[in-house]
Amino acid sequence: MLGFLAKRLASGVVLVFAVSAAAFMLISIAGGDIARTIVGDAATQQQVDQKAAELGLDQPLLEQYWSWLGAALRGDFGTSWFTNLPVTELLLTKMPITLSLALVGTVVSAALGVALGTIAAVRRGIVDRLLQVLVIAGFALPGFWLALVLVSAFAVQWGLLPATGYVPFGFSPAEWARSITLPVAALAIGVTGATAQQVRSGLIDVLRQDYIRSLRGRGLSNANIVLRHGLRNAAPSALTVISLQFINLLGGAVIIERIFALPGLGAMTLDATTQGDVPQIMGVVVLTVGIVVTVNLVIDVAYGWLNPKVRIR
Amino acid sequence: MKIFRVATLAVAATFAVSGCAGGDGGSSSGAPDDALDITFSYVPSSFDPPDVGDNPTSQFLQPVYDTLTQVQPDGSVGPRLATEWEYTDDALQVLRMTLRDDVTFSDGTPFDAAAVKANIEHFLTGTGPAVNNVRTIQEVVVVDPTTVELHLSEPNPALLRYLALTAGMMVSPAVLGQESLATAPVGSGPYVLSTDGTVSGSKYVYTRNPDYWAADSYPYDQITLSSIAEVTARLNAVRTGQADVSQITPKTMAEAESAGLDVTHFSSGDIMQLVLIDRGGQLSPALADPRVRQAINMAIDRESVVSAVYDGLGQPTTQLFNPSSDAWLDELADRYPYDPAAARELLAEAGYADGLTLNVPEFTGIADLFAIVAQQLGEVGITVQSTKVPDAQANTEMRSGKYPAVLQQLQSNDPWQAIQLMVMPQSAWNPLGYQEPALDELIRTAQSATGDARATAYQELNRYLVEQAWSAPLAVAETVFASEDDVTVTPYAYSVIPPIEGYAPAGS
């Protein structure tokens, strides 16, 4: 197990390096006179050049990446060019918000997906058809439209939940839960479908197997067979889908954060990218890749634990 | 499977808890009556005045800093830190100001003439958009602790107004030039920035400065300015009571009204125009001919621009000056009626019967306007070629001098400010530096005139610019606010957004 973990960790680290290098090249190629945009209209060319030198923009790309990398490895992600705030501080303040959305969204959609998928696989017939339709609808509805409808109904019309803003968990767990309910709903409804489908087909396959018939022959109850044996064997493929959904939700959070005015990583990335704020963008890229690698690692461990046959020696 | 059961229970529990907590069915943070919550789409980049443009981003600096003078709702300028002033010379190049002697910064540093000198000199080293407005200040002389003199290299008719904006914001000399100033302002204003509750980049909480020398003029104990990018989210915030006032857009005005909110709208002084930069014909020889520029003015249907782009909320205009200003002339409003046939005739007269091509930058902020303008100009034979530029670099691109014409909304308040911004050889929006002797003369006359003579000079200049079709102004945009009925928003002439003093509890 440890060897497996170590190998995955190593490949994760390589991934972070590769993605950060690629991202850096992409942003830098985008061009535009960043120094002048930062410094402002009234600046003389000399002041613009001074700013450019200060930010290292007059050096070759590889040199710029190298100095960023050197600082990053020491834990210094620099200062945002446009807001003058340290990037690390920005990331730490905003990460909990986006993670709240993505993690809770994943848990909720996983729970719902497993529930719906199981019911569909076991009941079949009309219930199965209905569930299929609901699931496709969830897929098809655009996340932002769903968010707007939810906010309109639950926040504005009925005043049940807040329309904007995020309350940190440490401040008030109840308020935190209320502030993320609508955003999570908007995010989760869309992705529940994929999980439900995967669980459904996986479970149907498993329930068709011979050993299930023998278990039934031995007198085990239906519930026991489905929940303990069926799901446990169908779980690996479901887990793969769930880990992919997490990545989806991380990306989907960008739009949702804007609609609900949640000051998370998504909103920050949007602004940083349009402005060309390189330190911020790089910080977000490294953080996001790190999160994704970690989550995938956790899922892989769960995978291995659930089904010993799958563990890689 | 156990995990599945536990997960379902956990989710159910979370919803139950949130349901219980939401028992009051209302907004999560009802602000007390002595607190004001406003949401905008802007974010301040810094609390150091020279880095920040005037209105609207300076909004975030206003609560903490006093200014030398103060804008009034009618656009005039009144006393604040400076109680009286006069030009001591006929050339209007020495401004002597008498200062209050009872003001202290929140860090204990006293306010005096030396502080004014330090601040203005610091401001002049800055590079933000407002710095060019006061470059004519050559020297600041401390006469005594309550008297200061500003020595100008040439007259600046709008100087007193600029001293009511970022150029006149007084920072404690103890922190001038320090990096911390960007995020931790120290001023003498009616409020101080509270670290408790302030989240850089999204929410700024200001608490009352109890020692403020005019505390009674400020009814709110606490002001929160939030930055929310999406207009729907801003509108929802007011509708659900999370904010008291939100700046919205003309397109969302109807929704706000039908939701029962108070809607205030007023002229913002932002003039949407096709800036005909290349009056000298360097990039596009056709534009050197006034007839071509006049044809452009007659080819665009300003009414349709206002209804399509601003949902009917805007004032069609042919002038570069603010309608509330001394320069405005009602008679010029009809100088260029929408007349494509006449436009085509003018173009033919100028020798462009076969049309011409203009390369104009396009960015998402003006996409819908661009489409209309391109179409209407196309109908008279002017082909508009679009060069896509990213929004964040749009301003820099447009002022680079690479394009013969650009489409942008420019702020026009005091006539001299508009002249400085658009009409002078060194103006930011005259990047090819075009000038002509007749115009130079008109500018010089306005610069040195006073009183009624100045108003007349501005009007002469205005007439000249319209007659020569210096630019193709289209419409004056409006600012729209949605608010709950317990707050009154008072528009201020010449301000895109009212200063903090413009918000008050209803009925006060």
Distance from CA of A51 to the nearest CA of B (A): 11
- Under an 8 A CB cutoff, do A163 and B239 touch? yes
Tell whether A106 is within 8 A of chain B (Cβ): no
Measured between beta carbons, the chain A residues lying within 8 angstroms of B393 are 32-33, 37, 276
pLDDT tops 50 at residue B18: no
Name which of B113, B137, B114, B115 is nearest B125 in CA terms: B137
State the smallest CA–CA distance between residue A13 and chain B in angstroms: 31
For the segment B391-418, the average pLDDT, to the nearest whole number, is 91
Is residue B302 within 8 Å of B242, Cβ to Cβ?
no
How confident is the model over A267-296, as pLDDT tens digits? 888 888 888 888 999 999 999 999 888 888
- Residues B343-358 have pLDDT tens digits of 999 999 999 999 999 9
Q: Is B35 helix (H, G, I), strand (E, B) or coil?
A: strand
Task: Compare all CA atoms of chain B with the CA of A44 and give the residue at the minimum distance.
Answer: B127
Q: For the segment B463-506, what is each residue's pLDDT rounded down to a tens digit?
A: 999 999 999 999 999 999 999 989 999 999 888 999 999 999 98
* A278 close to B (CB below 8 A): no
Determine the pLDDT at residue A136: 81
Which of B200, B239, B395 comes nearest A83 by C-beta?
Answer: B200
Q: What is the CATH number of domain B3-261+484-505?
A: 3.40.190.10
ipTM value, please give it.
0.84
Q: Minimal Cα–Cα distance from B52 to chain A, Å?
A: 9
* CA–CA min distance B8, chain A (Å): 6
Query: How close B75 comes to chain A (CA, Å)?
Result: 25
Q: Is B28 on the interface with A (CB under 8 A)?
A: yes
Is residue A56 less than 8 Å (CB to CB) from chain B?
Answer: no
B69 in reach of chain A (CB within 8 A): no
| A141-153: pLDDT as tens digits | 888 898 999 999 9
Cβ pair B18:A178 closer than 8 A: yes
Nearest CA in chain A to B202: A263
Nearest to A177 among B17, B26, B202 (CB): B17
| Whole-number pLDDT of residue A138 | 80
Q: Which CATH superfamily is domain A91-312 in?
A: MetI-like (1.10.3720.10)
Tell me what the pLDDT averaged over chain B comes to. 90
Identify the top-confidence range among A167-181, A283-297, B65-79.
Answer: B65-79
Which residues of chain A are in CATH 1.10.3720.10 domains? 91-312
Q: What is the DSSP string of B360-417?
A: EEE-GGGHHHHHHHHHHHHTTTEEEEEEE--GGGHHHHHTTT--S-EEEEEE--SHHH
Contacts of B397 in chain A (CB under 8 A): 32
What's the whole-number average pLDDT of chain A?
A: 85
pLDDT the model gives residue B30: 45
Beta-carbon contacts of A62 under 8 Å, excluding residues fewer than 6 positions away, are none
B92 CB contacts (<8 Å, ≥6 apart)? Answer: B152, B155, B448, B450
Residue B150 in this model has a pLDDT that exceeds 90: yes
Chain A, chain B: beta-carbon pairs less than 8 Å apart: 163
Q: For the ranges B19-33, B170-184, B206-220, B237-251, which has the lowest average pLDDT?
A: B19-33
Specify the range with the lowest mean pLDDT, choosing from A80-94, B23-37, B380-394.
B23-37
Rounded CA-CA distance B70/B165 in Å is 8
Residue A309: band (very low, low, confident or very high) from pLDDT cuts 50, 70, 90: low
pLDDT reading at B26 higher than 50: no
B9 pLDDT above the threshold of 70 = no
Among chain B residues, the shortest Cα distance to A81 is held by: B45
Residue A308 belongs to what H/E stretch? none
Which residues make Cβ contacts (< 8 Å) with residue B470, sequence separation at least 6?
B276, B279, B293, B320, B423
End-to-end CA distance of chain B: give it in Å, rounded: 64
HEC profile for B299-325? HCCHHHHHHHHCCCCEEECCCCCCCCC
Band of pLDDT at residue A80, cut at 50, 70 and 90: confident
Mutation target for B interface from A37, A107, A164: give the one with most B CBs within 10 A: A164
Nearest Cβ partner for B1 among A85, A165, A228: A228
**Both structure tokens of B113:** 């003439």
* Cβ distance of B18 and A181 shorter than 8 Å: yes
What is the mean pLDDT of the segment spanning B388-410? 89
pLDDT at B108 over 70: yes
Question: Does A124 lie at the interface with B, CB-CB under 8 angstroms?
Answer: no
pLDDT category of residue B23 using cuts at 50, 70 and 90: very low
Model confidence at A311, pLDDT cuts 50, 70, 90, reads low
Q: CB-based contact (8 Å) between A162 and chain B?
A: yes
Q: Do B130 and A42 touch (CB under 8 A)?
A: yes
- Cα of A2 to nearest chain B Cα, Å: 24
CB-based burial, B257-287: b 16+ in 10 Å, e otherwise: eeeebbbbbbbbbbbbbbbbbbbbeebbebb
- Average of per-residue pLDDT across B259-276: 94
**Are B392 and A274 in contact (CB < 8 Å)?**
yes
Domain range summary for chain B, segments of one domain joined by +: 3-261+484-505, 268-478
For residue A156, give the nearest of B128, B240, B428 by CB distance: B240
Exposed e or buried b for every residue in B377-406, given b needs 16+ CB within 10 A? Answer: beebbbebebeebbebbbbbbbbeeebbbb
Tell me, yes or no, if B195 comes closer than 8 A to chain A by beta carbon. Answer: no
Pairwise CB contact (< 8 Å): A40 & B127: yes
Beta bridge partner(s), residue B292: none
The type of residue at A312 is I
| Distance between CA atoms of residues B353 and A119, nearest Å | 74
Structure tokens belonging to residue B301: 């249907």
Contact residues on chain B for A173, CB-CB shorter than 8 A? 17
Task: Report residue B314 CA to chain centroid gap.
Answer: 16
Residue type, A117: G
Any chain B CB within 8 A of the CB of A275? Answer: yes
Which residues lie closer than 8 Å to B12 by C-beta, 6 or more apart?
A: none
In chain A, residues with a C-beta closer than 8 Å to the C-beta of B54 are none
Interface membership of B371 toward A (CB under 8 Å): no
Q: Does domain B268-478 have CATH number 2.40.30.10?
A: no
Residue A163 contacts B where some CB pair is shorter than 8 Å: yes
- Cβ contact (<8 Å) for A37 and B396? yes
Q: Rounded to an integer, what distance in angstroms lies between the CA atom of residue B408 and that of residue B370?
A: 10
Give residue B6's pLDDT band: very low, low, confident or very high (50, 70, 90). low
Higher pLDDT, B58 or A210: B58
The pLDDT tens digits of the residues spanning B419-465 come to: 999 999 989 899 999 999 999 999 999 999 988 999 999 999 999 99
Nearest CB to B396; choose among A36, A84, A164 = A36
Nearest to B228 by CA among A246, A105, A206, A257: A257
CB nearest to A42's CB, from B20, B128, B393: B128
| pLDDT exceeds cutoff 80 at A307 | no
Chain B touched by A83 (CB under 8 Å): yes
Q: B203 vs chain A: nearest CA distance in angstroms?
A: 9
Q: If you write DSSP's letter for every residue of B316-355 in order, what string do you get?
A: E-S-SS-TTSTT--GGGGGSS---HHHHHHHHHHTT-TT-
Using the 8-state DSSP alphabet, how is residue A137 labeled?
A: H
Q: Tell me the nearest-neighbour CA distance from B226 into chain A, angstroms.
A: 10
Whole-number pLDDT of residue B24: 30
pLDDT given at position A31? 64
pLDDT(B260) > 80: yes
Q: Which of B14, B39, B47, B134 to mutate to test the interface with A (most CBs of A within 10 A)?
A: B14
- Using pLDDT thresholds of 50, 70 and 90, give the confidence band for residue B17: very low
- pLDDT band at residue A7 under the 50/70/90 scheme: confident
- Put simply, whether B41 touches A (Cβ < 8 Å) is no
